[in-house]
Each structure stands twice: as structure tokens, then as C-alpha cells.
Amino acid sequence: MKSLTLLAPLLLQTLPSGCHDGGTPHDPDCGADGRCGTCVAGEEDCPTVAELLEAAGFVVSPAGTSDDGAELYELTLLQQTDHQDPMAGTHEHHLTLVHRGFDLPMNLISTGYSNYLGFEEDELTTLLGGNQLVLDKRFHNGNGDDYSTFTRKQVADDAHDVVVRLRDVYTSAWLGSGFSNGGVDMVSFRRHYPDDVDATVAFGAPFMRPGDERFLDFFDAVDAACQDRLEGIQRAVLGAQRAAVEPAVLTSAADELGATFARVEAARAFEAAALSYPWLFWQYFGTADDCADLPDPAVATAEELTTALFGVTSIFGAYPMSDAYLSFFGAYFYEVQESAGWPALPRAELVAEGLIPADLVDMERGLVPEGVTPPEFDLAENSALEEFARLGDGVALVYSTNDPWAAAAVTPAAMSGNVRFDVTDGNHLATFSSLSEPDQTALTAFLAAELGVDIP
């Protein structure tokens, strides 16, 4: 595996000349179908898509075609764990590629976690009518054993390594995009490697500080009647109705989600879920209909409260602070404590009322993986990234007014080349199509100008 990485530059130089030569720009006569004059990729002296990817250092597994005929590939790349120290070992990077043509735009996507998108096509890929390459992420995918190498710069180095291998193969414009933590990753990637992609779009990307108290103001800004009902439910399940609700919720967590609680006591996990209940409601629900469906905590039965609480706090498919939850998000919790920051949650009144302990570990700061030393916070990296989001260029930031993560939104400075769009009444799941039509048009125009391509 390591030899593929080391030999990639040599292989690129020795590919047959002609159509889609990986080492030189394409013949201007090449079309999106792979034709270069009389040469068709895979025939005569033209390398196939798989051969070009293998020459770039990837282990390639064809995965069929999409409904519209795009070729699908699973890719594995062995990368340096420390890009400044070749002796520090390697880790596997698992990517997925939707290939439509070497001379069509590429949408390079970071999920912010492991590669859970697979071949699901992003709206921006569809908008561009081009290719899509989804990045994986070290440690989130179980690859990596030295957390001291888990920094934003090393993650950016991973993406840079991928782009360097493929930028001369995919010769049209490159877009970098991401959602939530993936959006932050792509802004960080652009900061460290400003020439690797031509434009960046980040959806719902929070630029936080440690224990960020800006988030406390969010709950005073949303619909007051809905927030009052959420807080009433929160107090009911932590107070008068706890004896009935807690065991019912934990039974559902065990039966439906397989939850176990070896690292965090079940009672503390229940409290952490209740603490985050209003946050999670606004993050993933929050419409007028969702608010109307909330039970009245003054008269709600324990069964109704259990349904309301569990229906929201089970959104991840792993119960908050359960062993499975901490396993999945452990790498993320290392990130937030290393340089990303985390939100402060409204807890002072609940502590004062004796409903939760003062030292309760919440769902947003979390716990780093077992056996891993919590990192020292890198304030310089944190501040530099927020400053770049505000003062950089070529970045479009998209936020939603009902998304609590937008409390850590960045508004680009007037002299910068970055832009911001807001989805009215949207939550953390907002996408390109969630924008108003004028904003969709404006974001499309921004992308066309930055990428230098025509977008229908």
C-alpha cells in the first residue's frame, strides 16, 4: 500500500500520451464523454478512469453506475499520519467518487466525520452537472492511533494530498463544500491551501470558542412561546415527572437503539439528553407545526413527555452520552477540545433548581475517546480560522435563522471576498434548495464567477 503512494508521481509521468493523460492538461478537443479526437478513454492508448485513479495512488473498486450513467468508484488512499514526518506511519482514507467527465467541475465534499455520504449526490453537484468526490476523515473512520496528529492542519493536509493527485486529471473547476463540521473543515482547508479549490461553500458551519456563551442568546431570540413549552417539558422530565419518564426513556434507548452506559451512568446520560432537548429540537425540527405538536407540560402525561423527549433526543440513532454515542462522536469531541470550540448550554437555572448536577458533562463538549489525553486548546488556530472566514475570499457561508449553531455564524467583512446567505426559519439541515429563489440565484452567480463555469 505504501508503495502506491510513493510511486504515484512516477506513474503519472509514465502514462500513455493521448486522452486524459494524468500528468498534463487535457487536449482541448476532449469532451465530457472522454473523447479526444478519435481516442476514447479505455481504447487504444487511452487509460481508463480506473487506471488514471490507480496511477494517482488510489486503490480503486468500481461500484457500478448512477441512474444517469455516472461511473461510481470506491477509493482507498494510504496517507501519511503526519505530513511533516514520513516516519510517523500511515492511515487509510476512504473516498467515494461520482465520475461524469474529466473536463467537468468537481465538487469535493467534507462531511466533517467519516464518509457517510457514499454516492448520495449533493445538490451542488447536481447544480454543476459534474463530478463528486467525498472525503473521509482520519480518526472518525477508525484509522489513526496517535491523536497528537489530529489537528485541523493535518486534516487539511489530507485533503491537499487528494487534490494534488487529481487536479491535473480533473481539469475543470473545483468546488469545496461541506455541511456543519464539514463546512468548517472546508473553510480550514481553504485557509491552509487557498489555491486547491476555486470556491468553497459551507452550510451551517459554526466558528466557536471554548464554552461559547454566544449560544445562550439564541434561546432568547427564537419563538418565545415554543421555547417556553420546551423548557417546561425539560423541567417536567427532570423534576416532577422524572420518576416515570427516565426509566421509560432508558428502556426505549436500550430496546430501540441498543444503548449501553458503561462510560457514563445512565442517569447522567438522561440528564444530558434533557439538558440538550431544546437545542436538539431547534437544530433538527423547529417548524411551526413541530411547535404546535409539543405537549403542554402542565397537563401532559408521563407517556406523552416520554414520547416528546425520546423522539427528539434519539435523532442520532445512538442515545446521547451512551457508549455508542461517545464512540461515534469521540473524535469530534477531541476536535472541539483541540481547536474547534464548543457551545455553552443554558444550564445555570437547572443547576440552581437542583435538576442537574453542576459538573454534568453535556452533549456538546462531550468526552474524548477512552485512553486519550484531552488536548490543550489551540487558541491561535481557532482565532485564525474565524478571522479567515470573516476576511478571506471565495467562501459562501449559508446559515439558518432557527439553527442554534448559527449563534457562531460569521458575517464576512465588507472588504472581503466572502459572502453569506441565510435561510429564514430553517434549521441545521438546510441545503441549497432551502434558500429563497433570489438567494439561490445569487449563490449560483457567485459560484459561476468564482469557478469560471457556466451554470444553467
- Of 332, 352, 372, the one marking the end of a domain is 352
pLDDT for residue 15 is more than 50: no
The set of residues, in sequence order, having a beta carbon less than 8 Å from that of 162 and lying 6+ positions away, is 77, 93, 95, 108, 133, 135
169 domain residue, yes or no: yes
What residues form DSSP beta bridges with 399? 422
Torsion of CA 92, 97, 102, 105, to 10 degrees: -110
- Whether the CB-CB separation of 295 and 305 falls below 8 Å is answered with yes
386 domain residue, yes or no: no
Residues 70 and 142 in one domain: yes
Residues 328 and 253 in one domain: yes
What is the domain extent for residue 166?
Answer: 2-208+395-451
The pLDDT of 21-48, averaged and rounded, is 48
Distance CA 132, CA 172 (A): 13
The set of residues, in sequence order, having a beta carbon less than 8 Å from that of 34 and lying 6+ positions away, is 19, 20, 40, 41, 42, 46, 101, 102
Q: Which pLDDT value is given to residue 7?
A: 27
pLDDT in tens, 280-324: 999 999 999 999 999 999 999 999 999 999 999 999 999 999 999
pLDDT for residue 13 is more than 50: no
363 domain residue, yes or no: no
**Three-state SS across the chain?**
CHHHHHHHHHHHHCCCCCCCCCCCCCCCCCCCCCEECCEECCCCCCCCHHHHHHHCCCEEEEEEECCCCCEEEEEEEEEECCCCCHHHCEEEEEEEEEECCCCCCEEEEECCCCCCCCCCCCHHHHHHCCEEEEECCCCCCCCCCCHHHCCHHHHHHHHHHHHHHHCCCCCCCEEEEEECHHHHHHHHHHHHCCCCCCEEEEECCCCCCCCECHHHHHHHHCCHHHHHHHHHHHHHHHCCCHHHHHHHHHHHHHHHHCCCCCCCCHHHHHHHHHHCHHHHHHHHCCCHHHHHCCCCCCCCCHHHHHHHHHHHHCCCCCCCCCHHHHHHHHHHHHHHHHHHCCECCCCHHHHHCCCCCCCCCCCCCCCCCCCCCCCCCCHHHHHHHHHHHHHCEEEEEEEECCCHHHHHCCCCCCCCEEEEEEECCCCCCCCHHHCCHHHHHHHHHHHHHHHCCCCC
Residues 277 and 175 in one domain: no
Q: Which residue has the higher pLDDT, 144 or 201?
A: 201
Q: How many CA atoms lie within 13 A of 419 on its CB side?
A: 16
Residues 191 and 50 in one domain: yes
The pLDDT of 29-33, averaged and rounded, is 44
Q: Which pLDDT value is given to residue 41?
A: 52
Residues 301 and 319 in one domain: yes
- Whether the CB-CB separation of 350 and 238 falls below 8 Å is answered with yes
362 domain residue, yes or no: no
Q: What residue type is assigned to position 436 of the chain?
A: S
Q: Which pLDDT value is given to residue 431?
A: 97
Residues 138 and 248 in one domain: no
- Of 321, 337, 352, the one marking the end of a domain is 352
pLDDT for residue 24 is more than 60: no
Residues 197 and 231 in one domain: no
Scanning the structure block, which residue is given the C-alpha cell 457514563? 264
What residues form DSSP beta bridges with 97? 73, 133
Residues 137 and 282 in one domain: no
Which grid coordinates belong to 222?
Answer: 427564537
Q: Say how many C-beta atoms besides its own lie within 10 A of residue 197's C-beta.
A: 24
Q: Which pLDDT value is given to residue 10?
A: 28
Average pLDDT, the chain: 91
The pLDDT of 41-53, averaged and rounded, is 80
86 domain residue, yes or no: yes
Lowest mean pLDDT among 50-59, 81-90, 91-100, 377-386: 81-90
Residues 191 and 300 in one domain: no
- Of 299, 321, 352, the one marking the end of a domain is 352
360 domain residue, yes or no: no
Buried b (16+ CB within 10 A) or exposed e, 278-290: bbbbbbebbeeee
- Whether the CB-CB separation of 346 and 219 falls below 8 Å is answered with yes
Q: Which pLDDT value is given to residue 20?
A: 38
Nearest to 405 by CA among 201, 188, 190, 182: 182
pLDDT for residue 45 is more than 80: no
Residues 164 and 229 in one domain: no
367 domain residue, yes or no: no
Q: Which pLDDT value is given to residue 46?
A: 81
CATH code: domain of residue 92: 3.40.50.1820
Which grid coordinates belong to 174?
Answer: 473545483
pLDDT for residue 32 is more than 90: no
Residues 136 and 11 in one domain: yes
Count the domains in the chain.
2
Q: How many CA atoms lie within 13 A of 90 on its CB side?
A: 12
Residues 264 and 140 in one domain: no
Which grid coordinates belong to 352?
Answer: 440552581
Percent of the chain clearing pLDDT 70 (strictly above) = 90
What residues form DSSP beta bridges with 40? 35
365 domain residue, yes or no: no
